[in-house]
Amino acid sequence: MDRIGIIGFGFSGLMVVANAVRSNTKPCMFYIIDDSSGWGAAYSTTNPDHLLNVRASGMSAFADAPDDFVEWLKGPDAAQAMKKYGLTKQYGNDDFAPRMLYGAYLDAIWRDTQNRAADKNFELKLVPSRAVAVQKNGELLVLTARGDAIAVDRLVLAVGHEVKPIFTHIQSPNIIQNPWAADALHGVAQWPSPVMLVGTGLTAVDMVLSLRRAGYQGEIAAASWRGLIPQIHATPTAVLSLTPDEIAAQKNLQQLIRFVRNKIRVVGDWRVVVDALRAHTQTIWQRLSTPDQLRFLARISPAWSTHRHRMAPEIAARIAAAKVHIIASKKMDVRLEEECLMVTCYPPSGLQHISPSRIINCTGLELNLARSSNPLLRQLLADGLVEPHANGLGVAADHTLHAWGRAHPNLYVIGSLLTGQLLESTAVPELRMQASVIAKQLV
Overall average pLDDT of the 240-260 stretch: 94
- Name the residue among 12, 10, 62 with its Cα closest to residue 36: 10
Cα 112 from Cα 106, distance rounded (Å): 10
Residue 146 has pLDDT above 80, yes or no: yes
**pLDDT of the residue at 350:** 83
In the sheet that holds 332-337, the strands lie side by side as 332-337, 340-345, 352-354
List pLDDT tens digits, range 282-329.
999 999 999 999 999 999 999 999 999 999 999 999 999 999 999 999
**pLDDT of the residue at 42:** 81
Query: What domains sit in the chain, N to C, each tagged with a CATH number?
Result: 2-162+366-442 (3.50.50.60), 175-231+310-361 (3.50.50.60), 244-308 (no CATH)
Residue 260: in which H helix or E strand, if any? helix 253-267
Burial of 28 from C-beta contacts in 10 A (0-12 / 13-18 / 19+): buried
**CB contact at 8 A, 50 and 203:** no
Query: At 53, is the pLDDT very low, low, confident or very high (cuts 50, 70, 90)?
Result: confident
Residue 144 has pLDDT above 80, yes or no: yes
Overall average pLDDT of the 243-266 stretch: 95
Mean pLDDT of the chain: 94
**pLDDT of the residue at 316:** 95
Bridge partners of residue 333, in order along the sequence: 344
**pLDDT of the residue at 40:** 81
DSSP strand E in 260-385: where?
325-328, 332-337, 340-345, 352-354, 358-361
Q: Long-range contacts: 104-109, Cβ < 8 Å, 24+? A: 104/77, 104/78, 105/61, 105/69, 105/72, 105/73, 105/77, 105/78, 105/81, 106/11, 106/14, 106/39, 106/43, 106/61, 107/39, 108/72, 108/77, 109/14, 109/15, 109/18, 109/61
| Start-to-end C-alpha separation, the chain | 10
Measured CA distances, 294 to 3, 285, 291, 393, 442 (Å):
39, 11, 5, 10, 34
List pLDDT tens digits, range 382-431.
999 999 999 999 999 999 999 999 999 999 999 999 999 999 999 999 99
**pLDDT of the residue at 182:** 82
Cα 58 from Cα 92, distance rounded (Å): 11
Query: At 338, is the pLDDT very low, low, confident or very high (cuts 50, 70, 90)?
Result: confident
Residue 57 has pLDDT above 80, yes or no: yes
Give the pTM. 0.92
Residue 249 has pLDDT above 90, yes or no: yes
List pLDDT tens digits, range 212-241.
999 999 999 999 999 999 999 998 888 899
Residue 152 has pLDDT above 90, yes or no: yes
Number of helices and strands in the chain (H, E): 16, 16
Query: At 121, is the pLDDT very low, low, confident or very high (cuts 50, 70, 90)?
Result: confident
**pLDDT of the residue at 1:** 79
Query: At 7, is the pLDDT very low, low, confident or very high (cuts 50, 70, 90)?
Result: very high
Residue 115 has pLDDT above 90, yes or no: yes
Measured CA distances, 408 to 287, 388, 403, 405 (Å):
23, 14, 6, 5
Overall average pLDDT of the 334-356 stretch: 91
Secondary structure (3-state) at 328: strand
Residue 267 has pLDDT above 80, yes or no: yes
Query: At 157, is the pLDDT very low, low, confident or very high (cuts 50, 70, 90)?
Result: very high
Residue 12 has pLDDT above 90, yes or no: yes
Question: Cβ–Cβ contacts within 10 Å for residue 83, how many?
Answer: 10
Overall average pLDDT of the 204-215 stretch: 94
**pLDDT of the residue at 23:** 87
**pLDDT of the residue at 418:** 97
Percent of the chain with pLDDT over 70: 100
Query: At 26, is the pLDDT very low, low, confident or very high (cuts 50, 70, 90)?
Result: confident
